[in-house]
């Protein structure tokens, strides 16, 4: 019987891990990792603001290329026919939103923003938006309590809209230059598939639902009235958020020729919609009815 394989790419707080798996048995064929080069263990801090934690999206791309190419090369050494890799799955930290231009390129790639940390990825553990989170919680409790019932009763400074609202208040130049904001777990599939148009992007419901108050019971994303009462500028952002979001068994696109060459793979391999790292870990570990899974990661280590 012909074997089939999958490639998984996991973006953690300090590194990228890549793994090739046998789809029938779950056997690990090969794996590799590469650490981010910027900042301290991949995190960029600011001594004047202990709550700030950012990342350079270039690290994601460079470390992903190295880790995946190494895992694929190792699979070949194990006599695996890499043409039998049938799909690519991606998970990443959340909420780690990135301001991007109209081509879905991070703003920090532009010369004018290369030294502006507000144009970088706002890592999940960035807590600069405490006041903005409190503002969102207060408004939602008054006019949209259903938003809070789905996220534990309080909106967090670690989450999508808190960080974007913080940027709008603190750095109008970056906020106005952003065509939209992408979760890290949406940015990577777009990169691999060569997607450069927000209309072709498939955002993942895992990050949207857990971090950005998305729920189909009230029409998806927070409505314009709510966002505009937080800030009129957020109404414009809402226009760039597609009505639909997708689960990770949905295909985001196919691997581009550019990234196939970097990885040592064939182009056209289906790439799945992204998801949150810990959530995918729980699914992979077999979470289900009467099955408890505890996921340990950076948050525990940080304690």
Residue ranges with strand state E in the chain:
5-11, 15-22, 28-35, 44-46, 49-55, 85-92, 97-100, 121-122, 180-183, 251-254, 270-272, 275-276
| pLDDT confidence band for 298 (50 / 70 / 90) | low
Query: What is the pLDDT at residue 294?
Result: 85
- Report yes or no: 64 and 15 within 8 Å, Cβ to Cβ: no
196 has pLDDT over 90:
yes
Rounded percentage of the chain residues whose pLDDT exceeds 90: 89
Residues 6+ apart with CB under 8 A from 12: 93, 277, 297, 298
Q: Which residue has the higher pLDDT, 61 or 299?
A: 61
90 has pLDDT over 80:
yes
pLDDT (tens digit per residue) in 199-243: 999 999 999 999 999 999 999 999 999 999 999 999 889 999 999
Residues 6+ apart with CB under 8 A from 59: 36, 37, 38, 42
Give the residue from 201, 226, 199 showing the smallest Cα distance to 215.
226
Query: What is the pLDDT at residue 289?
Result: 87
Q: What is the pTM of this model?
A: 0.95
d(CA 21, CA 26) in angstroms, rounded, equals 6
End-to-end CA distance of the chain: 48
Query: What is the pLDDT at residue 181?
Result: 98
The pLDDT mean for the chain works out to 95
Q: Determine whether 23 is exposed, middle or buried from the number of CB atoms within 10 Å of its CB (0-12, 13-18, 19+).
A: middle
Query: What is the pLDDT at residue 303?
Result: 38
- Residue 152 phi/psi, 5° resolution? 85, 10
CA-CA distances (angstroms) from residue 270 to 19, 139, 250, 262, 291? 16, 41, 10, 16, 30
pLDDT (tens digit per residue) in 109-168: 999 999 999 999 999 999 999 999 999 999 999 999 999 999 999 999 999 999 999 999
Query: What is the pLDDT at residue 286?
Result: 86
pLDDT (tens digit per residue) in 2-44: 899 999 999 999 999 999 999 999 999 999 999 999 999 999 9
Query: What is the pLDDT at residue 5?
Result: 97
Q: Determine whether 167 is exposed, middle or buried from the number of CB atoms within 10 Å of its CB (0-12, 13-18, 19+).
A: buried
């Amino acid at each position: 019987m012909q074997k089939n394989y999958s490639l998984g790419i996991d973006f953690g707080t300090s590194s990228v891990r890549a793994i090739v798996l046998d789809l029938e048995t779950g056997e690990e064929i090969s794996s590799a990792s590469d650490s981010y080069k910027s900042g301290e263990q991949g995190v960029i801090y600011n001594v004047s603001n202990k709550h700030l934690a950012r990342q350079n999206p270039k690290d994601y791309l460079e470390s992903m290329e190295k880790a995946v190419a190494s895992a694929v090369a190792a699979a070949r050494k194990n006599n695996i026919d890499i043409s039998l890799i049938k799909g690519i799955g991606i998970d990443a930290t959340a909420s780690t939103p990135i301001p991007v231009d109209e081509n879905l390129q991070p703003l920090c790639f532009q010369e004018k923003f290369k030294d502006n940390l507000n144009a970088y990825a706002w890592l999940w553990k960035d807590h600069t938006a405490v006041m903005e989170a409190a503002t969102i919680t207060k408004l939602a409790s008054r006019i949209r309590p259903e938003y809070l019932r789905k996220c534990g009763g309080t909106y967090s400074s670690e989450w999508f809209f808190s960080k974007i609202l913080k940027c709008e208040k603190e750095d109008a130049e970056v906020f106005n230059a952003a065509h939209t904001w992408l979760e890290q777990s949406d940015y990577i599939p777009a990169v691999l598939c060569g997607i450069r148009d927000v209309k072709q992007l498939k955002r993942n419901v895992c990050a949207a639902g857990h971090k950005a108050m998305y729920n189909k019971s009230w029409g998806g994303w927070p409505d314009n009235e709510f966002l505009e009462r937080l800030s009129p500028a957020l109404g414009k952002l809402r226009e760039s958020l597609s009505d639909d979001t997708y689960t990770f068994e949905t295909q985001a696109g196919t691997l581009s020729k550019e990234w196939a060459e970097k990885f040592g793979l064939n182009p056209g391999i289906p790439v799945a919609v992204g998801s949150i790292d810990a959530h995918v870990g729980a699914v992979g570990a077999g979470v289900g009815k009467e099955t408890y899974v505890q996921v340990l990661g950076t948050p525990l280590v940080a304690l």
